[in-house]
């Protein structure tokens, strides 16, 4: 679609309303089927033996005792599985990564990596059998920090790739003239920033079930965001045509990006089922979701920016190093997206960026909501606050001055559409009466003299779709049935975001039928049109437009058929709320059902159309305003209130959009203050792989959130201007908290999570 296409304005009947989500009915009654709920006759249970060493060569594996254990049906090791080098994630096919993974290898690259798999008649027996597998290792020196991994002579983790433990060649972006920029600067700010290793901690542990039929076809249920990618890579690695692999996902219990990879257990489950000729289920323990799941890339950033005394930004020099963990996974994508994102947010003509991604002997980092940008914008936004402080300016004012606006070149290389970020900021400033808030009386409450209050702002922007890293394609098939009901077939996964409901709303709106008359079929790769997967906040934007295009086509066909039946021309009639009527004479009408049904001499019809859409990219924007309370004796930071202001172009389902924002804020508060998956820097062992010590904010910890959604900058690439919202909230909340902490106690933090110990230490250093 052409970027200059005007956005159709209309009075919406269904879009913009919080219609009842169909899928939720099954969820509140307990009927919704998740992969773990599947039980097949004769089903076996698989378990994975995991290495208790971070870097080693396997000298020998003896599985004889495990195989002899009563109830055990099969054991697989690197000696018995196909040795096929593959990508961990589907994306690198177009984002220049090296294939660096085997199903099982003779080398261990992180503590917790699978070295063998067992299938047995019960989960307990499989678990007990793991202890009977004897592995002899030759320990290799490990590296656990990117700075150590890139040293000359550091142990090499992979034989493939660009070498030097780099996952990909450094990503470099240059715009303008950096030297000229710094020469023009009145002052320069320079700092280093560091991000921890938050884990998505979705509630449903990874799980899959594999079943082969007599014709050697694999049916595979799995909790994934990218079922077609699972199908593709499974088929490739198992040497099967796509017709012999069927992937099914009905409901899934969250993914937040991390369920996009092809996991070791997925291959092993399929292979165990093949070997035993019985269905096999493999379910992660909560512990495994950490060690064998995917976390956000820890990142170290060096950022130097030049400013004029009027607040103009004239130069930005930035180096980012992302820690990929033991395999590439989404490292390339994250590095490219996170690095190029730093061209934008705050306008700057002279930019030099360099992003690296490095292997270490730690658990794999992958995709997680915010995809590399959480890290880079944390640095950009905090340093903007510092510049305001240096200038004696209100940070809101400085941010307003510098935020990107319509026509500026976005990270994708396209001009930005609309003044979304400016409008979000201004809106929040007005709603909160920010100036008064900043000028408030700051004397501590005599009843709680150790408490300090602070307010901070965090800004962000984020693209819907993964363009230009990946040229995506959205597909939808819309069928109008003989009775006038409508079936939408989509390959987009239902993560629980309400995406399917939004798609059904779009189809109903475009076609002119009632929302209740649209049914959605999803989750079966043998049936639905191909889809790249649910990620990059793109389902509404990308698949939504495809669905709208398909609906537009069937609408024309329905009108043509009705015109024939009404014996008028198609131009004379219109279709709305399930009724076809004469524009000039609205009382002359027929229902869509009548139009589609049989009448004398005319059999019933079924109209089918496909929509295929290959978009570029749109950007959504947000400014978060956050209040914190800090206990200066314990260092505990409590987030009291968040006012998130988001521009999503066009709201399809307000409650679902708010839900995305509020959930993202919870995760963002988590990684900024309490959540960090900690790996021992000496051994590579996980120190808190469980929900006791991986601390997510819970019901008592959540602040009041007053979500504001604006339709400030609709994007012509999305349905009626709609853009994504899934990832935005988690990016803006972090810097808003860090900036609020500074406002409260006058201390700057450049890292996350900011722990109570950090606060106390800083207060002490400050001499407070």
Partner 1 sequence: MKRMVEFTVNGEAREMAVNGCCSLLDALRDEVGLTGTKKGCDVGDCGACTVLVDGEPVNACLMLAVEAEGRAVETVEGLQPGVDRLHPLQDAFMRHGASQCGFCTPGILMMAKKLLDDNPHPSDEDIRFGLSGNICRCTGYTKIFDAIKSAAREMEATRP
Partner 2 sequence: MRRFDYHRAETLEHASRLLTELGDDTFLFNGGTDLLVEIRERLRRVRNVVDIKQIPGLSDITYNETRGLTFGALVTVGRLENLSLVRQRYPNLRSALASLGSIQVRNRATVVGNICRASPSADTIPPLVADGAFVHIYSRTNMRVVPICEFFTGPGRTVLAKGEIVTGITVPPAGDNTGKAYLKHGRRKAMELSTVGVAVSLAMDDGVCSDIRIALGAVGATVLRAPQAEAMLRGTRLDAEAVRSAADKAMEECTPISNVRASADYRRDMVGVLTGRAIKQALETFA
Using CB under 8 A, list all residues that contact partner 1.
18, 20-21, 23-34, 36-37, 39, 124, 200-205, 251-254, 256, 285-286, 495-498, 655-656, 658-659, 661-667, 690-692, 696, 698-700, 702, 705, 707
Smaller CB distance to partner 2: residue 128 or 261? 128
Please report whether residue 768 would count as binding ligand FES according to CB under 6 A: no
Beta-sheet pairing, 280-283 with 44-50: parallel
CB of 291 to ligand FES, least distance (A): 18
Window 542 to 571, contacts with partner 2 (CB under 8 A): none
Closest distance of CB 677 from partner 1, Å: 14
Enumerate the β-bridge partners of residue 216. none
Q: Does 203 bind ligand FES (CB under 6 A)?
A: yes
Between 568 and 691, whose beta carbon lies closer to partner 2?
691
Instruction: By CB under 8 A, name the one of 26, 693, 704, 706 that touches partner 2.
Output: 693
Residue 687 touches which member of partner 1, ligand FES, partner 2, none, C-beta under 5-8 Å by kind: partner 2
Using the minimum distance from each CB to ligand FES, give the nearer residue, 254 or 468: 254
For residue 546, list its beta bridge partners: none
Nearer to ligand FES, 201 or 536 (CB): 201
User: Interacting stretch for partner 2, rule CB under 8 A, among 250-258, 411-419, 508-516, 630-638?
Assistant: 630-638
Return the residues of window 113-152 that contact partner 2 according to CB under 8 A. Answer: 123-125, 127-128
Q: Which of 394, 678, 746, 748 binds partner 2 (CB under 8 A)?
A: 678
CB of 545 to ligand FES, least distance (A): 27
- Measured from the CB atom, the residue of 24 and 687 that comes closer to partner 2 is 687
For residue 543, which of 613, 639, 610 has the smallest C-alpha distance? 613
Work out whether 200 is an interface residue with ligand FES (CB under 6 A).
Answer: no
Residue 21 contact partner, candidates ligand FES, partner 2, partner 1, none, CB within 5 to 8 A by sort of partner:
partner 1
**Per-residue CA distances from 583 to 12, 570, 579 (Å):** 18, 10, 12
* Residue 495 interacts with which of partner 2, partner 1, ligand FES, none, CB < 5 to 8 Å by class: partner 1
Contact 332, 92 (CB under 8 A): yes
Using CB distances below 5 to 8 A depending on partner kind, what does residue 608 bind out of ligand FES, partner 2, partner 1, none? none
Closer CB to partner 1, 106 or 286, in the complex: 286
- Token pair 């991604």 in the structure block, residue: 357
Residue 705's binding partner, choosing from ligand FES, partner 1, partner 2, none, with beta-carbon cut-off 5 to 8 A by kind? Answer: partner 1
Least distance in angstroms from the C-beta of 447 to partner 2: 12
Taking CB under 6 A as the rule, which mask of x and - marks residues 494-513 in contact with ligand FES? --x-----------------
24 binding partner (options partner 1, partner 2, ligand FES, none; Cβ < 5 to 8 Å by kind): partner 1
205 touches ligand FES (CB under 6 A): no
- Please state the closest distance from residue 727 (CB atom) to ligand FES, in A: 17
Contact 470, 97 (CB under 8 A): no
Residue nearer to partner 2 on the CB measure, 340 or 667 = 667
Instruction: Round the CA-based radius of gyration of the chain to a whole number and report it.
Output: 27
Token pair 């079943």: residue = 211
Residue 707 to residue 646: CA distance in whole angstroms: 8
Q: What share of the chain is helix, strand, coil (3-state, %, to 5)?
A: 30, 25, 45
H helix intervals, 37-76 = 64-68
Nearest to 594, CA basis, from 558, 636, 627, 630:
558
The reply on whether position 146 binds ligand FES by CB under 6 A is no
- Chain centroid to CA 452: how far? 34
Task: State the minimum distance, in angstroms, from the CB of residue 690 to partner 2.
Answer: 7
**How far is 507 from 514, CA to CA, in rounded Å?**
10
Q: Minimal distance in Å, beta carbon 114 to partner 2? A: 17
Residue 638, exposed/middle/buried by CB under 10 A (0-12, 13-18, 19+)? middle
Long-range contacts from 385-392, C-beta under 8 angstroms, 24+ separation: 385/456, 385/457, 385/735, 385/739, 385/742, 386/189, 386/191, 386/748, 387/189, 387/305, 387/307, 387/311, 387/313, 388/311, 389/742, 390/187, 390/189, 390/307, 391/307, 391/309, 391/311
749: closest CA among 319, 187, 195? 195
Q: Which is nearer to ligand FES, 202 or 581 (CB)?
A: 202
Q: Mapping DSSP to helix (H, G, I), strand (E, B) and coil, where does residue 248 land? A: strand
756 binds ligand FES (CB under 6 A): no
Residues 6+ apart with CB under 8 A from 629: 451, 452, 453, 637, 638, 640, 744
Distance from chain centroid for Cα 388: 32
- The C-alpha angle 97, 102, 107, rounded to 5 degrees, equals 110
Residue 166: name its binding partner from partner 1, partner 2, ligand FES, none (Cβ under 5 to 8 Å by kind).
none
For residues 258-317, which are near partner 2 according to CB under 8 A?
285, 287
Distance separating alpha carbons of residues 545 and 377, to the nearest angstrom:
29
Near partner 2 by CB under 8 A: residue from 682, 700, 765, 767: 700
Chain residues in the site for partner 2 (CB under 8 A): 123-125, 127-128, 285, 287, 633-636, 673-674, 678, 687-688, 690, 692-693, 695, 697-701, 755-757, 760
């Amino acid at each position: 679609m052409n970027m200059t296409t005007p956005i159709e304005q209309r009075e919406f009947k269904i879009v913009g309303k919080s219609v009842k989500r169909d899928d939720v009915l099954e969820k509140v009654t307990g009927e919704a089927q998740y992969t773990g709920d599947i039980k097949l006759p004769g089903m076996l249970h698989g378990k994975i033996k995991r290495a208790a060493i971070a870097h080693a060569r396997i000298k020998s594996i003896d599985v004889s005792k495990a195989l002899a254990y009563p109830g055990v049906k099969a054991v697989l090791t690197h000696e018995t599985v196909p040795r096929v080098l593959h990508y961990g994630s589907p994306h690198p096919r177009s984002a220049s990564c090296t294939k660096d993974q085997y199903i099982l290898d003779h080398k261990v690259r992180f503590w917790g990596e699978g070295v063998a798999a067992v299938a047995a008649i019960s989960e307990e027996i499989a678990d007990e059998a793991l202890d009977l597998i004897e592995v002899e290792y030759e320990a290799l020196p490990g590296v656990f920090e990117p700075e150590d991994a890139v040293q000359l002579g550091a142990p090499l983790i992979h034989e493939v790739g660009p070498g030097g433990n780099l996952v990909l060649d450094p990503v470099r972006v240059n715009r303008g003239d950096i030297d000229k920029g710094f020469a023009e600067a009145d002052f320069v700010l320079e700092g280093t920033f560091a991000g921890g290793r938050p884990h998505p901690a979705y509630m449903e542990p990874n799980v899959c079930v594999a079943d082969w039929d007599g014709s050697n076809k694999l049916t595979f249920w799995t909790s994934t965001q990218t079922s077609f990618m699972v199908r593709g890579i499974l088929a490739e690695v198992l040497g099967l045509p796509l017709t012999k692999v069927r992937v099914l996902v009905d409901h899934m219990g969250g993914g937040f990006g991390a369920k996009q990879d092809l996991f070791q257990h997925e291959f092993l489950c399929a292979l165990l089922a093949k070997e035993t000729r019985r269905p096999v289920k493999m379910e992660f323990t909560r512990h495994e979701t950490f060690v064998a799941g995917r976390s956000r890339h820890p990142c170290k950033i060096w950022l130097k920016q030049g400013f004029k005394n009027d607040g103009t930004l004239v130069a930005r020099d930035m180096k980012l190093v992302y820690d990929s963990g033991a395999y590439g996974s989404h490292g390339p994508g994250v590095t490219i997206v996170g690095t190029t994102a730093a061209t934008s947010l705050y306008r700057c003509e002279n930019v030099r960026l360099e992003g690296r991604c490095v292997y270490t002997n730690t658990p794999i980092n992958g995709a997680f909501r915010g995809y590399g940008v959480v890290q880079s914008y944390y640095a950009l936004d905090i340093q903007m606050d510092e510049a305001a402080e240096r200038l004696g300016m209100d940070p809101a004012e400085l941010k307003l001055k510098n935020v990107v606006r319509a026509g500026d070149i976005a990270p994708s290389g396209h001009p930005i559409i609309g003044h979304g970020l400016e409008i979000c900021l201004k809106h929040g400033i007005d709603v909160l009466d920010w100036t008064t808030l900043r000028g408030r009386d700051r004397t501590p409450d005599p009843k709680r003299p150790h408490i300090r209050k602070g307010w901070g702002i965090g800004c962000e922007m984020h693209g819907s779709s993964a363009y230009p890293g990946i040229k995506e394609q959205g597909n939808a098939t819309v069928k109008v049935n003989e009775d006038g009901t409508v079936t939408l077939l989509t390959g987009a996964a239902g993560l629980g975001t309400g995406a399917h409901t939004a798609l059904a709303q779009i189809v109903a709106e475009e076609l002119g039928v009632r929302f209740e008359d649209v049914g959605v079929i999803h989750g079966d790769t043998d049936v639905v049109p191909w889809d790249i997967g649910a990620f990059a906040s793109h389902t509404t934007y990308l698949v939504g437009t495809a669905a709208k295009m398909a609906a537009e086509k069937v609408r024309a066909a329905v009108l043509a058929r009705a015109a024939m039946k009404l014996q008028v021309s198609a131009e004379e009639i219109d279709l709305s709320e399930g009724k076809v009527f004469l524009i000039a004479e609205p009382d002359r009408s027929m229902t869509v059902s009548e139009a589609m049904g049989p009448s004398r001499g005319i059999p019933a019809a079924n109209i089918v159309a496909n929509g295929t859409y290959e978009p570029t990219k749109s950007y959504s924007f947000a400014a978060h305003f956050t209040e914190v309370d800090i206990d200066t004796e314990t260092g505990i930071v409590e987030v009291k209130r968040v006012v998130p202001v988001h521009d999503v172009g066009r709201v399809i389902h307000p409650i679902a959009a708010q839900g995305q924002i509020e959930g993202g804020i919870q995760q963002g508060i988590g990684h900024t203050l309490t959540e960090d998956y900690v790996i021992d820097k000496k051994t590579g062992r996980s120190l808190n792989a469980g929900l006791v010590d991986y601390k997510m904010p819970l019901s008592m910890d959540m602040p009041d959130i007053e979500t504001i959604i604006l339709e400030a900058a609709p994007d012509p690439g999305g349905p009626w201007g709609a853009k994504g919202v899934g990832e935005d909230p988690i990016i803006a909340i972090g810097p808003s908290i860090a900036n609020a902490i500074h406002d409260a106690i006058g201390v700057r933090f450049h890292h996350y999570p900011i722990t109570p110990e950090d606060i106390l230490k800083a207060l002490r250093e400050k001499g407070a």
